[in-house]
Amino acid sequence: MIVWNRYEFTIKALDSLFSNTNHPYYLFLLDNNSEEKVKQYLKDLDKTQESSFCCGIDIHFRKRSYGVFKNMQKLWRIIMRKFEGNITYWCKLDNDTIVPANWLTKLVKLMDTKTNLDIVQADHLMLTPKKYRTKKDWLFSMKKEEVVIDNLSHNLFYNSYVGGSGIIIRNTEKIKEVMSRMNFYKKVWGWTVEQQKRINNGHNIAFFDGVFITLLDVEEDNVLNNEFISYYRHTRRM
């Protein structure tokens, strides 16, 4: 999880993570030079008692703001060093993201079942690509596949836009190559451009409607709360 300011959001996001994750995980937090009260909150986290499923918490603080995507790359390198590259999946959340019950269990089961998948994005209210009027129109344009997880039917939408929060990524050689070599754009959609250009082969990236995450700054599809527009402008800076 990348953290940058948003004190109240950070508390809510981490509370939901600790309460709703029922699959063993190791939490890495990278603070992007937040205001002092956010840093102090992270420092005060109980690194052993927050959740019985949390195997550990590793917190890193940056001395200046590096932008969303340089920090994503930094976190990936921290994770790889910690486990010497010996991981199957890693996930990326932001500190405005509320996860539902069993979100990680479902995503891991999905990846275990659909071994063709390299990256999966959980469903959420979002800004749709400009050429589509609604998210429904956008999803309708994609190849769809039904998948059953825990006896419930869900949908995968292939060739989809994959954002930066609520994603699960398989630790493949191609992912390693992209994460270690890419130069992220200054624009907020840099990760999406790179993963579509370098990783997407038409059947390995999907949008999944079986897990719905809440982004605290999005009020409805295609509407970003005006209060947070300036925040996202800042994330474009490197």
pLDDT digits (tens, 9 = 90+) for 163-180: 778 999 999 998 888 888
**Prediction pTM value:** 0.90
Domains of the chain: 2-234 (3.90.550)
Indicate the DSSP class of residue 51: -
pLDDT tens digit string along 86-113?
999 999 999 999 999 999 999 999 999 9
* Residue-level pLDDT at 44: 92
Element (H, E) at 169: strand 167-170
Percent of the chain scoring above 70 in pLDDT: 86
Confidence of residue 238 (pLDDT cuts 50, 70, 90): very low
Tell me the torsion sign for CA atoms 214, 218, 219, 222.
negative
- How many residues belong to the chain? 238
Strand-pair category, 144-149 with 25-31: unpaired
* Residue-level pLDDT at 128: 80
Q: Could you tell me if 142 and 162 are in contact, meaning their C-beta atoms sit under 8 angstroms apart?
A: no
pLDDT tens digit string along 19-71?
999 999 999 999 999 999 999 999 999 766 677 899 999 999 999 887 777 88
